[in-house]
Amino acid sequence: MRILVAALGSPGHAFPLVPLTAALQDAGHEVTFATGPDVAPTIATAGVPTLAVGRPLFDVFREVMVARGMTGPPTSTQGTREIAGEVFGAAMPRQYAPALRDHLAEHPVDLVIAETGAPGAALAAHATGTPCVLHSFGRRPVPVAPFAVRAREPLARVAAEVGIEVAVDAPLGHAYLDVCPPSMQDPETAGTLTGLAELPLRPTGWNPPTPDFVLRRRPGTRWVLLTLGTAFGDAGVLRAAVEGLAAPDLDVLVATGSVDAGELADLDRDGVQVEPFVPQAELLRSDDRPAVVVHHGGSGTTLSCAGAGVPQLFLPQGADQFFNAAAVVATGAGRQLLGPEATPPGVRKAVRELLDDGPERASARALAAEVAAIPSPADVAAEVEAWGRPAQPAM
C-alpha cells in the first residue's frame, strides 16, 4: 500500500507515530511522513521519506498569542484552552488541509494515517476520497479538546474556508488507533469514538539517534530522570526539583527540553547530569532504566514510563498534562505535585517514597503488563490491509 502519515511538527505529536510508520515500511509498504518543516529532518533519521508541511508549530502559537495582545503564555485554564483551540482547531488545519489535499491529488495514496492533533490531514483525505485512520498520541480526547476525531466547529468552518465539504460532527476517519491502555482512559470519553472502529496499538517510544550521549553514573547508585518536555519547560521548576533530588545515593539526569541548557549549566556536577536532549525512549527500554521518572505529564513520556513499569512523579505544567497525571495517579502507579507543592522538600519526599518497593512500584509493574498485552506496531502493521480500508456494509 501507499500510505501518507501526517502529524503536527512537535516531538510530542510526531514521535508517537514513528514506530508504526517504521513497522509499515518494514512490512513492505511505501510510506511518507508529513510533518512540520522543523521536525521533518528529525523524523527522516528514522529512515522514512518525509514531507514538510506548513510552518513551525511554535511560530504559529506565538503569532496567535501576539494577535491576542499576549506577551507570555496564558495564565488561566480558559486562556490556554482558547489559544490551543485556535492553533490546533483552526490555524494549523488551514495550513495542512489545502497543502496535503494538493499533494494527495498529485500523489494519490491508498491510506492516510492522521494524528489527532493534525485534523487538517484528515480533511485533505476526505477531500480526495482517501481512506483515513486517526492515530492518537495519548488518551481519548475530551469533548472540549482541540484534538479532533470529528468535524466539530471551528474545524468544519475552516474546511469550508479552504473549499472542503464536510458535514458538521462527521467522523474524520473510519478507524482510530488507540495508544492508551484502558486503565488510563476516562470512561466519560468513550462516546467520542462513536462511528469509528477502535484499534488498540501499543504505545512505543521513539527518539532520534544520539550517538554522542553518554549516561554518567556513579557505581552502585540508582538514578532518576527529570524532564519537563519540549513545550512547557520552566527553569525554576527544574532547579527546585534538582535541589530536592540531588543526594549521595541518587544520580539525576536532567533533560532540559524547551529550557536553554545553559541556564542550568551550574547544576551539572558529580551526581547531576544536565543535557538539552536525551534518548528517552532508549533509556526507558534499557535494563539500566531510571528507578523513577519526574516529569511534566506529556502523553509520550507518560505512556513510555507506563510501558517501562517505572513509577512516575508528575509536575504538570499545562495542556493535557494534568489529565495524564491524574490518570496515572488513579492507577496507583505514580504521584503528582501541583504548582506550589513542587518544592525541593516535596519532590524529595515523594521520590524517596517512590523509590521504595511499595504499592506504587507494584502498580507500575501491573500497568506495564497491561501495555505489553496491547498489539505491537509490527502486529498492527501486519493487518493494515484489513483496517486500512473502511468496512464494507453487509449485502
> pLDDT tens digit string along 90-144?
899 999 999 999 999 999 999 999 999 999 999 999 999 999 999 999 998 865 5
pLDDT, tens digit (0-9, with 9 covering 90-100), for 349-392: 999 999 998 899 999 999 999 999 999 999 999 999 999 988 76
pLDDT at 280 over 60: yes
Pick the CATH number of 2-203+374-387 from 3.40.50.2000, 3.30.70.340, 3.40.630.10, 3.40.640.10: 3.40.50.2000
Residue type at 179?
Answer: V
Mean pLDDT: which of 193-202, 306-315, 319-328 is highest? 306-315
**Hey, what's the cell of 199?**
484499534
Bond from prior residue into 146 cis (ω within 30 degrees of 0): no
- Residues 196 and 261: their CA atoms lie apart, in Å, by 43
Q: Which residues touch 355 (CB under 8 Å, ≥6 apart)?
A: 222, 250, 291, 292
Q: Pick from 250, 271, 272: which is nearest to 261 by CA?
A: 272
Residue-wise DSSP of 220-247: T-EEEEEE-TTTS--HHHHHHHHHHH-B
In the chain, where the domains are located: 2-203+374-387, 222-372
Cell 515523594 belongs to 350
**Mutual angle of helices 92-106 and 119-127, in 10-degree steps:** 40
Q: What distances in angstroms separate CA 37 from CA 8, 65, 196, 353, one per listed residue?
A: 10, 21, 30, 43
What is the edge-to-edge ordering of all strands in the sheet holding 2-6? 50-52, 30-35, 2-6, 111-115, 132-135, 175-178, 197-200
Cell 521504595 belongs to 356
Supply the pTM of this predicted model. 0.93
Q: What is the dihedral of CA 71, 77, 82, 83, to 10 degrees?
A: 40
Cell 503569532 belongs to 63
- Residues 157 and 126: their CA atoms lie apart, in Å, by 15
The torsion angles phi and psi of 271, rounded to 5 degrees, stand at: 95, -15
pLDDT at res. 57:
87
pLDDT at res. 360:
95
pLDDT at 326 over 80: yes
**Do 13 and 118 form a contact (C-beta atoms < 8 A)?**
yes
Q: Are the folds of 2-203+374-387 and 222-372 the same? A: yes
Q: Does domain 222-372 have CATH number 3.40.50.2000?
A: yes
Portion of the chain with pLDDT greater than 90, in percent: 71
Cell 466539530 belongs to 152
